[in-house]
Structure 1
Amino acid sequence: MQHVLEQQAGAADEPVGAAARRRTFAVISHPDAGKSTLTEALALHARAITKAGHVHGKAGRNATVSDWMEMEQARGISISSAVLQLTYRDTVLNLVDTPGHADFSEDTYRVLTAVDAAIMLVDASKGLEVQTMKLFAVCKHRGIPIITVINKWDRPGKDPLELMDEIAERTGLTPTPLSWPVGIAGDFRGVVERDSGEYVAFTPTAGGAQIAPEERMSPGAAAAREGDAWTVAREESQLLAASGAEHDQEMFLGGISTPVLFAAAVRNFGVRRLLDALVELAPAPSPRTDRQGEARPLDAPFSAFVFKLQAGMDTAHRDRLAYIRICSGVFERGMVVTTARTGRPFATKYAQQAFGRDRSLVEVAYPGDVVGLVNASNLRIGDTLHAGPPVQFPALPTFAPEHFAVARGVDTGRYKQFRRGITQLEAEGVVQVLRSDLRGEQAPVLAAVGPMQFEVAEGRMRAEFGAPIHLEPLGYGVARRTTPAWAPTLSAEWGVEVVLREDGELLALLPDQWRVRSIQRNHPDVVLEPLVAT
């Protein structure tokens, strides 16, 4: 595994210059759009791995680096976020892979707080799908510029001009293709580079496990080789030029336009061009705004925030990794920093760079980098770490759960393991854990955005903690914030249960919106506030 950070330099670089050489980004998509395959292809082209894997393990291809959980490999989906750090053209690329399934959107939303750009992956045959649009809306709200990749062009799909119209109509962004496909969807021969007019022809490799050879040639040579397919591609490219669909960097960074590329990630077609676009177009880290609304300079003393907690990555050591996004200053392994929430010191002796499931020690890191802190049992998602004067960054999103179940240990003799496992899943954000005096610690209520979170919780309780659980679904579908003053009244209502969340919020659980309105009619002053992302 490559070591990307400038550990060999011997001395810390200055943070502003180091940040300029970094690109921190996420890949967003609907499930099965090819996100994990693209992640693997990017790692292959950046020479971080020598052979690409595949989420389904077909025909001599290994499992992907980013999908390392047993459940991910079995189902061919991403259900946890993973971090890969790559180098390409002397630029450090911090790729934060996100869960593809909608049930894990809360984890994905948190990841998007830690990146400066996003790749929006679109299936050529399906166009923009529901989950992609939801994540696009988050990127737009946060001002994250988006590079669009039309994937699976090696399979039958929509007309490319039709896809451009769909992007414009549904996102409001102006698509500005950097390349244009030669050959219809399902007959992907190569692309026209719209800036130079050159033809880049792709040659497939066995199983797509190796980098696909590319051959560049002049328009004349391309016309002689591809005939009508080249003529159509050139005409459509010229039509785009006439309509003003040309890349403008300020419009891209301002969230007005989106550069578009065509690719077939499973064949490694068009992946190198995407890496070039990330280096040339994606923004470098910039000053982050703290809770007081002030932008913290990149060269200010060290600061970072925790956006992800992950356990179970190393079955031999039951440690927990806290992923931090560095916002300012220089991180050096062993430095003692302060946790803003508690004011307590935290020693960073065990700082690691993650590459999927694999890790190596990190000696120094800079703004934009993602570092894993091991055995960070006292850290929580959203915590700010800092050196020097206090600083605190805004809280990370918490979403309203829609699925609820009581968790009980199958073996009452393993209560300690049960309690430790529930506490850890809660801290990692796998599920929300709700408690009440009525149910007690032995029967907490697990709350989730999607039911697959319960499957992850069950699997990890059994495999990691040796404390299998039985989940009893509850008939609630709505959670509303309330106050201690209203708790007795609400608890006395039919179909209502009041519980306490770990962050101190008192929540009223109700069957549906109809019951909410009924209680509000009977108690006009009742506090039942909708839960929105903080």
Structure 2
Amino acid sequence: MTLTEEIEKRRTFGIISHPDAGKTTLTEKLLLFGGAIQSAGAVKSNKIKMHARSDWMEIEKQRGISVATSVMAFDYKDKKINILDTPGHQDFAEDTYRTLTAVDSVIMVIDCVKGVEMQTEKLMEVCRMRNTPVMCFINKLDREGRDPYDLLDEIEEKLNINVRPLSWPISMGKTFKGVYSLFNKSLHLFQASRSKIEQDGIEIDDINDPQIDEQVGEADAAQLREDVELIEGVYPEFDVNEYLEGKVAPVFFGSAVNNFGVKELLDCFIELAPGPLPRETEERVIHPDEKKFSGFIFKIHANMDPNHRNRIAFVRICAGKFQRGTNYYHVRADKKIRFSNATAFMAQEKELVDEAWPGDIVGLYDTGNLKIGDTLSEGEPGMFKGIPSFSPEIFKEVINKDAMKTKQLEKGLHQLMEEGVAQLFTYELGSRKVVGTVGALQFEVIQHRLKNEYGASCDFMPINLFKACWVDSSDKKKLKEFIDSKMRHIARDKDGKVVFMAESRSWLTMVQDNFPEVSFHLTSEF
């Protein structure tokens, strides 16, 4: 198969949502329809031994939430689908933001009871930054939820994107009958089943077809016809190009836990969603059909297999063909590295791959050479742009509880920080270690993983800090003067960059005024 044909087969997307909207459940059901798994796991129930396939870390099983992005691939109708299931919890937002740089489109899951929530708005802002095409799946129609029109209005208002329903629910909750597909004119009848795969819908050439009355009853059939007429009158005709430009979001309705509406979403997705898109480097735009390989690291995970202390770097292939055992140029380090172990993912399960194509996500076993944001190529020097990093919100000092395990603690902290779980700052005076995170739950995850994966125990003591600011200056003498005068508040990040630890907003402002030649940055490029 040629490079062009391989590219055309690929669809790489992320699933995002507020916590508890049903994102991981939807991921499971997509894998089920794709034949990648035989039965879906329960995300929340502790009584059921089989947990959701994409939640494989021990803490995820205990808490019933996703705390790390999972990568899964399967084949469906001659297409190779790559899914990235992201954490919904805001405390792990940074992992999600980085993951969104590696996808070509997004499916956003919205709970029909709660509607658009704050975390959904934040995620949408990241999608807007890149004009990422978005599909909406309004979930949990088997529950009594909000009016569909109200939900559509709220999506437009809060997420700042036009919507176009491509399916429409027939009632809701206890009286939920099914959905009518406006996209391919078919009726899908609801059957509450968590194990059976949804059957193909009944094709309806005309909305006035009496079959509808027979299947859902005259009253619901009359309401459906009224709704369809209103939708066709109010919303403009669906334009695929507007969707691909990120201007309009097609909307689907269903119940992921009951396998309902998922197949219809998947069928439309493979027809409408974009294949691998061009990516920008510092030098130029890289197109997927270029002959020479290039890709970037968007995620690193240590200890995916607790029996082997391995470290895997997730690479998004942007152009050309990746071949295992080939020497590739590591742009940041300015050297060539040979990758003899390359894997494809099915959540925690991995298989060796000899080759991969644009749009694919490949795991490379790494001994510490690679970092998030690194670019690999066949010799071209440009680094891929747009891997976001953020100044932490919460800071806590690391207290070692077992002096005999100091080396294990240092190694564990170093590896977890390389994954992007949190940021580590080491003070110049006294070598105090401070961890900065986006949310409080990350400290619990770090503690859990240090104990279980490295055998190290630590406590986190809250400290009063406002921001960690990376500093630089074109005048090296002025920068040294600043560092010397503020030595008690100077730390280094994991890469050795100088960071000023500001204790309050007003004090930071005063220091900035006193040192105008020094630049203070709230983000650090990896």
Q: Is 1:335 paired with 2:332?
A: no
Consecutive unaligned residues in structure 2, runs of 5 or more: none
Q: CA deviation at 1:60?
A: 4.9
Question: Is residue 351–residue 371 contact of structure 1 (8 Å, CA) maintained in 2?
Answer: yes
The answer for the alignment partner of 1:187 in structure 2 is 175
The answer for the alignment partner of 2:493 in structure 1 is 501
Question: Is residue 45–residue 211 contact of structure 1 (8 Å, CA) maintained in 2?
Answer: yes
The answer for the alignment partner of 1:55 in structure 2 is 43
Q: CA deviation at 1:293?
A: 3.1
1:453 to 413, 430, 442: 442
The answer for the alignment partner of 2:124 in structure 1 is 136
Equivalent position amino acid for 1:501 in 2: D
Equivalent position amino acid for 1:46 in 2: G
Q: Is 1:412 paired with 2:403?
A: yes
Mapped to 1, the partners of 2:339 and 2:280 lie a distance apart of 24
Q: CA deviation at 1:287?
A: 2.4
Pick closer, same or farther for the CA change 1:498–1:60 going to 2, 3 Å: closer
Mapped to 1, the partners of 2:34 and 2:524 lie a distance apart of 36
The answer for the alignment partner of 1:5 in structure 2 is none
The answer for the alignment partner of 1:429 in structure 2 is 420
Pick closer, same or farther for the CA change 1:533–1:213 going to 2, 3 Å: farther
Pick closer, same or farther for the CA change 1:193–1:327 going to 2, 3 Å: same
- The one-character-per-residue Cα deviations of 1:373-423 (angstroms, maximum 9, x if unpaired) are 123421111111112443421252110111111213211122221221111
Q: Is 1:268 paired with 2:268?
A: no
Q: CA deviation at 1:488?
A: 5.7
Q: Is 1:106 paired with 2:94?
A: yes
Mapped to 2, the partners of 1:518 and 1:217 lie a distance apart of 69
TM-score by length of 1: 0.92
Where 1:514 maps in the other structure, the secondary structure is helix
The answer for the alignment partner of 1:221 in structure 2 is 211
Q: How does 1:326-405 map to 2 (within 5 A)?
A: 326-394=317-385, 396-405=387-396
Q: CA deviation at 1:231?
A: 2.0
Pick closer, same or farther for the CA change 1:209–1:23 going to 2, 3 Å: same
Question: Is residue 198–residue 263 contact of structure 2 (8 Å, CA) maintained in 1?
Answer: no
Using the TM superposition, name which of 389-398 and 120-129 deviates more: 389-398
Mapped to 1, the partners of 2:201 and 2:271 lie a distance apart of 22
Equivalent position amino acid for 1:445 in 2: V
Mapped to 1, the partners of 2:21 and 2:211 lie a distance apart of 34
Q: CA deviation at 1:368?
A: 0.2
- The one-character-per-residue Cα deviations of 1:7-49 (angstroms, maximum 9, x if unpaired) are xxxxxx3322201111000011111111111110110111111
Where 1:210 maps in the other structure, the secondary structure is coil
Question: Is residue 174–residue 245 contact of structure 1 (8 Å, CA) maintained in 2?
Answer: no
Equivalent position amino acid for 2:29 in 1: A
Q: Is 1:512 paired with 2:504?
A: yes
Question: Is residue 306–residue 325 contact of structure 1 (8 Å, CA) maintained in 2?
Answer: yes
The answer for the alignment partner of 1:302 in structure 2 is 293
Mapped to 2, the partners of 1:480 and 1:375 lie a distance apart of 30
Q: CA deviation at 1:247?
A: 1.5
Question: Is residue 169–residue 253 contact of structure 2 (8 Å, CA) maintained in 1?
Answer: yes
The answer for the alignment partner of 1:291 in structure 2 is 282
What is the percent sequence identity of the aligned residues? 37
Using the TM superposition, name which of 474-483 and 152-161 deviates more: 474-483
Consecutive unaligned residues in structure 1, runs of 5 or more: 1-12
Question: Is residue 286–residue 298 contact of structure 1 (8 Å, CA) maintained in 2?
Answer: no
Give every structure 1 segment of 4 or more consecutive aligned residues whose post-TM-superposition deviation is greater than 4 Å: 58-61, 486-494
Mapped to 2, the partners of 1:368 and 1:215 lie a distance apart of 31
Equivalent position amino acid for 2:215 in 1: R
Mapped to 2, the partners of 1:472 and 1:100 lie a distance apart of 26
Q: CA deviation at 1:202?
A: 2.5
Pick closer, same or farther for the CA change 1:236–1:290 going to 2, 3 Å: same
Equivalent position amino acid for 1:163 in 2: L
Using the TM superposition, name which of 55-64 and 86-95 deviates more: 55-64
Q: Is 1:86 paired with 2:74?
A: yes
Pick closer, same or farther for the CA change 1:62–1:171 going to 2, 3 Å: same
Q: CA deviation at 1:524?
A: 6.2
Mapped to 2, the partners of 1:516 and 1:289 lie a distance apart of 34
2:195 to 209, 214, 218: 209
Pick closer, same or farther for the CA change 1:198–1:403 going to 2, 3 Å: same
Mapped to 2, the partners of 1:196 and 1:327 lie a distance apart of 33
Pick closer, same or farther for the CA change 1:143–1:17 going to 2, 3 Å: same
Let me know the Cα RMSD of the aligned residues.
2.1
Where 1:192 maps in the other structure, the secondary structure is strand
Mapped to 1, the partners of 2:288 and 2:331 lie a distance apart of 18
Mapped to 2, the partners of 1:29 and 1:197 lie a distance apart of 28
Question: Is residue 102–residue 131 contact of structure 1 (8 Å, CA) maintained in 2?
Answer: yes
Question: Is residue 290–residue 320 contact of structure 2 (8 Å, CA) maintained in 1?
Answer: yes
Question: Is residue 91–residue 442 contact of structure 2 (8 Å, CA) maintained in 1?
Answer: yes
Mapped to 2, the partners of 1:488 and 1:447 lie a distance apart of 26
Q: CA deviation at 1:288?
A: 1.8
Question: Is residue 202–residue 215 contact of structure 1 (8 Å, CA) maintained in 2?
Answer: no
Mapped to 2, the partners of 1:186 and 1:251 lie a distance apart of 36
1:477 to 466, 472, 477: 466
Mapped to 2, the partners of 1:479 and 1:375 lie a distance apart of 29
Where 1:260 maps in the other structure, the secondary structure is strand
